[in-house]
Amino acid sequence: MAANFSNPVVRWIDHRLPIFTFLHHEAHEYPTPKNLSYWWNFGSLAGIALVIMIVTGITLAMHYTPHVDYAFSSVERIMRDVNFGWLIRYIHMNGASFFFIVVYIHIFRGLYYGSYKAPREILWMLGVVIMLLMMATAFMGYVLPWGQMSFWGATVITNLFSAIPLIGDPIVTWLWGGFSVDNPTLNRFFSLHFLLPFVIVGVVILHIVALHRFGSNNPLGIDVKGQKDTIPFHPYYTIKDAFGLGVFLIFFAAFVFFAPNYMGHPDNYIPANPLSTPAHIVPEWYFLPFYAILRAIPDKLGGVLFMFGSIAVLFVLPWLDRSPVRSGQFRPIFKIFFWILLVDVVFLTWLGGKPAEGTYVILARFATAYYFIHFLVVLPALSIFETPKPLPKSISEPVLGAGGGFAGATAAPREKV
């Protein structure tokens, strides 16, 4: 199993610290299903987005001042005076949005191809944990420039906790470190915004460990039957991921250089004023579906519970969808409902950006109801009533015909040795 390294220094180190063997095993010869489509690029893209955020974030922290009197001006100084500060900040700002774009695509990929099903439940749940950590990190990062949206976003979101009966208000005071969002709040948010990305790195490592236990799922959703179904990760998927990265960077650079504020709010270029609330408070776009759910419920505590519930339901998804077939390709009815869910979430995103009044509220209620019905009613029901299409015998069979089958091949699922 140990790779044969020609470089004597590498061999000497590897004998004492088998880091090269480990990398060879997990990133080079690592057998990957040979039928992965471009939808499988988004995991590695998410990892790269995380690295981009950490590098630009650490750089920005070298120039940023976490104090209510200086935060806004220090960000403006980064934009105007610090060498390439404008570039680094715009990469960080848009990087957050692109991180969410990539992760949301990654999640919907998993939803369509049943990547959350046995034996990948913990892999999936770790992914949901990463998403929650990303949301907390993004929220606290948005507070740091101390503009109007920063301040009032922080006020509204921390006030969500006041909905908790009895201990709600003490919790909010504790989160603020005062009687309103103020300097102590800004300081702790900066501290945590710096910490959490490294926590994300830790969970990402667990995510990859869980992934490599059984290997990637694939568009057919069937288990790898043997060596004929796999190719080594390097060079086949490293080159495919690199190509995907190039395409991703084209879109990313287009925003950074030509529309850096497209996904932001002009109000955040007004310094925070605790005595005046902007007329229309909206969170960043990636929170809008959850914000729509929050506002759809006419009760304060209820709204908060449904909002968190919309993510909590993902944790138990592997036990709600009991169908033994993973891939949506072989589930004719599931496939339809998948697209309805996607439309529903996009619709919620749109509604979240609209004022909470009149028809928008009614529509948001229907869309919220449908979101929960999909997970709590439709998926369990489909597991019982849907007749899936016949599955191919192996990954190779649909391509190579019957000859691609494995006469006498040991059909044991691949296990890491």
Site for other proteins in 133-162 (CB under 8 A): 152, 155-156, 158-160, 162
Q: What angle do CA 198, 50, 190 make, to 5 degrees?
A: 50
Pick from 74, 103, 99: nearest CA to 89 = 74
Q: Which of 233, 351, 375, 331 is nearest to 291 (CA)?
A: 351
Rule CB under 8 A: which of 259-278 touch other proteins?
274-277
Catalytic-residue membership of 240: yes
CA atoms of 165 and 186, how far apart (whole Å): 26
Residue 72 CB, shortest distance to other proteins, in Å, is 17
Cα–Cα distance, 348 to 294 (Å, whole number)? 11
Options 38, 174, 251, 339; binder of other proteins; rule CB under 8 A: 174
Residues comprising the chain, all counted: 417
**Residues 283, 300: Cα–Cα separation, whole Å:** 18
Regarding 258 and contact with other proteins (CB under 8 A), the answer is: no
Element (H, E) at 350: helix 332-352
Q: Given 241, 267, 344, 397, which residue is catalytic?
A: 241
Quick one: which of 149, 140, 158, 132 has its CA closest to 195? 140
Residue 414 interacts with other proteins (CB under 8 A): yes or no: no
Q: What's the closest the beta carbon of residue 185 comes to other proteins, in angstroms?
A: 10
C-alpha span between 138 and 132 (Å, rounded): 10
Beta bridge partners of 31: 232
Q: Quick check: 128 binds other proteins (CB under 8 A)? A: no
* Phi and psi based region of residue 358 (left: phi greater than 0; alpha: psi -120 to 50; beta: remaining): left
* Contact call for residue 413 and other proteins (CB under 8 A): no
State the Cα–Cα distance between residues 226 and 99, nearest whole angstrom: 34
- Is 188 a binding residue for other proteins by CB under 8 A? The answer is yes
Please say which residue, 59 or 155, places its beta carbon nearer to other proteins.
155
Q: How far apart are CA 286 and CA 299, in angstroms?
A: 23
Q: Does 362 bind other proteins (CB under 8 A)?
A: no
Q: Which of 14, 223, 267, 284 is catalytic?
A: 284
Q: Is 182 a residue that touches other proteins (CB under 8 A)?
A: yes
- Residue 137 CB, shortest distance to other proteins, in Å, is 18
Applying CB under 8 A, does 280 fall inside the site for other proteins?
A: yes
By three-state DSSP, how is residue 239 classified? helix
Write down the least CB distance from residue 289 to other proteins, Å: 18
Residue 41 or 158: the one with the smaller Cβ distance to other proteins is 158
Whether the Cβ atoms of residue 386 and residue 333 lie closer than 8 Å to each other: yes
Q: How many C-beta neighbours within 10 Å does residue 179 have?
A: 8
Q: State how far the Cα of 93 lies from the Cα of 284, in Å rounded to an integer.
A: 11
Residue 376 burial (CB count, 10 A) = 14
Residue keyed to tokens 């949506």: 328
Least Å distance between CB 167 and other proteins?
13
Least Cα distance to 147 among 75, 93, 94, 96 occurs for: 75
* 321 has catalytic annotation: no
Least gap, CB of 204 to other proteins (angstroms): 26
Q: Is 173 a residue that touches other proteins (CB under 8 A)?
A: yes
For other proteins, the closer CB: 1 or 279: 279
Taking the complex as a whole, the smallest distance from the CB of residue 304 to other proteins amounts, in Å, to 10
**Residue 212: active-site member:** yes
How far apart, in whole angstroms, are the C-alpha atoms of residue 289 and residue 344?
Answer: 9
81 is an active site residue: no
Q: Which stretch binds other proteins (CB under 8 A): 53-61, 88-96, 295-303, 409-417?
A: 295-303
Say whether residue 235 binds other proteins (CB under 8 A): no
Q: What residues numbered 298-357 form the site for other proteins, per CB under 8 A?
A: 298, 300, 356-357
The site that binds other proteins (CB under 8 A) totals a number of residues, namely 31
Nearest distance from C-beta of residue 267 to other proteins, angstroms = 13
The answer to whether 388 and 331 have CB atoms below 8 angstroms apart is: yes
25 in active site:
no
Which residue is catalytic, options 63, 212, 300, 393?
212
In whole angstroms, what is the distance from residue 170 CA to residue 311 CA? 25
Q: Out of 25, 92, 106, 240, pick the active-site residue.
A: 240
Does 295 sit near other proteins (CB under 8 A)?
Answer: yes
Residue 54 touches other proteins, criterion: CB under 8 A: no
Q: Cβ closer to other proteins: 102 or 175?
A: 175
* Residues in contact with other proteins by the rule CB under 8 A: 152, 155-156, 158-160, 162, 173-182, 184, 188, 274-277, 279-281, 295, 298, 300, 356-357
Q: Where in the sequence numbering do the catalytic residues fall?
A: 212, 216, 240-241, 284
